[in-house]
Amino acid sequence: MKTNYKIVTLSVALLAAFSSCNKDFLETNPQNSTSVEEAIVDVNGMRAAIYGSYSLMQSDFYYGRSFVFYPDVMSDNVYISSKNSGRYEKNDQYAIRANDAYARDTWNQIYRVIANSNVILDKSKSVIAISTDSIERRQIIGEAYALRALAYHDLVRLYAQPYNFTADASHWGVPLFTKAVYEKGSVANLGRSSVKEVYVQIAKDLDSAINNLPERLRAKGANLDAKYKGRLNLFGAKALKARVALYMGDYATAVSLATEVINKKSLYTLLLNDKYVSDFKLNNNTETIFEVVNTNIDNMGTNSLVHFYNQSGYGDALASDDLYNAYAKTDVRRSFMQKGTRKDGETNASLVIKYTSTSTRDESMKVMRLAEMYLIRAEANIKLGNDALALADISVIAKRGDKDAVDIVVPLEGLMGTLLAERRKEFPFEGHRLFDLNRNGFNFTKFRTGGETINVTYPNQRVILPIPQSELDANPSIRSQQNPGYGGL
């Protein structure tokens, strides 16, 4: 992704962004910005805009750091060291307030991605492609739908309780903003839609994405490598819909779509046990379905997730001993951590070394991997009563991680406990754990430095982020719709 694409489409996002974002966001006017009307008049403009959307996802407020970090630090996986730079301490303490800067910046950044998608979809209606461009035009439309779906799913997981929190999913979700807006004066204030309404829109967008996306992506009139994972293709959209269906409780659809992706062996295969740790870091590895690409030129620098975890960077975030001890000694996945001393901090700590490129910072953030499809299918099959099928899929992932693993014995907490334990071991530091626990209504212990703990029981209002105070101040329609537990803060 080239920087000039980011500049062009950032201005698009700023003009189209919805009025609830703070004034600084609305009034930013980057140098060399291009007006919306000039930016998207043909397929070349659409291409630049979709590249810009992917670039916006790199932000440290989104997949560059914060969004990936929240579900680990707010669960039982990660805590902030006693020696720290002051980042994410309130998340670690369960003491977030409505004026929290990280909650605000993540909210704004995800809506920027949504705003970009809205503009692309709107402007694409007037783009008449010549025959050689028509395939790419349709593909970009599909990508815009898929990215909007992903962004809304990320928002609703962070700022709203899970789908099954109420019997009919009628509890508050997030504002649904699906129309392109080009002038600040014409932006509407929107209240929060219900979680059900948000998920209906996500599913609708994914159906549109699937109807438009090819298996093999096209760029600048030529086909990309079929195994390129930096943009969403047909099977990326199907994998995302499998995830969304699981969260919605549509278990038959989750099983069906996860199976389609698993069976697409020409595109995706599990990394082998002896290559798992080394090849995980590679861009376009065989297991990745979709990743947010970083390069040695285009990355978040010291604001990146790798810099935050690694001891040669900030090194603020440490793995809990509870997580470290969850692995057998023969499990290669434990190699993403090592015991050591935090400089001027904890001794015999579990240091995170999953991300190591602190000089080049060119490790991509894995958004979806094939292992998730196996465990989505397993979880859905448990809910459908197909325990033997679920156990088979869990075993595939468990034995890939630990080739000496014996057959799984279901513990007293049942097969769901086994499934969640395996998901925990498979996806640490990738942004899943809190969502997994909350989706399934599990209690957990939040570990902090010095042996301090916080017991977190389900349901709990503090496992989701507050609606940003700047949003409440700017948007009368949402002012009375703050998440419970954050009022008056």
pLDDT in tens, 38-86: 679 999 999 999 999 999 999 999 999 999 999 999 999 999 999 999 9
pLDDT of 17 reads 39
- CA 263, distance to chain mean position in Å, is 24
All residues at 6 or more sequence positions from 460 whose CB lies less than 8 Å from its CB, including other chains: none
Quick check: is 486 in a domain? Answer: no
pLDDT of 66 reads 98
Where the chain has pLDDT below 70, the residues are 1-38, 183-188, 220-223, 225-227, 409, 411-413, 487-489
Compute, in degrees rounded to 10, the torsion defined by CA atoms 216, 221, 224, 230: -90
Tens of pLDDT, residue by residue over 292-314, are: 999 889 899 999 999 999 999 99
CATH number at residue 345: 1.25.40.390
H-helix segments, 58-171: 66-73, 89-93, 101-123, 131-159
Total tally of structural domains belonging to the chain: 1
Quick check: is 398 in a domain? Answer: yes
pLDDT of 304 reads 95
Quick check: is 57 in a domain? Answer: yes
pLDDT of 91 reads 98
Quick check: is 373 in a domain? Answer: yes
H-helix segments, 160-319: 195-212, 234-248, 251-262, 276-280, 305-309
Could you tell me the residue range of the domain that residue 447 belongs to? 3-478
Quick check: is 302 in a domain? Answer: yes
Quick check: is 485 in a domain? Answer: no
Q: What is the pTM of this model?
A: 0.93
Quick check: is 488 in a domain? Answer: no
Q: Which two tokens stand for residue 127?
A: 């783009």
> 80 has which bridge partners?
317
Quick check: is 466 in a domain? Answer: yes
pLDDT of 38 reads 66
Alpha-carbon distances, residue 468 vs 89, 97, 343, 442, 474 (angstroms): 17, 9, 34, 26, 10
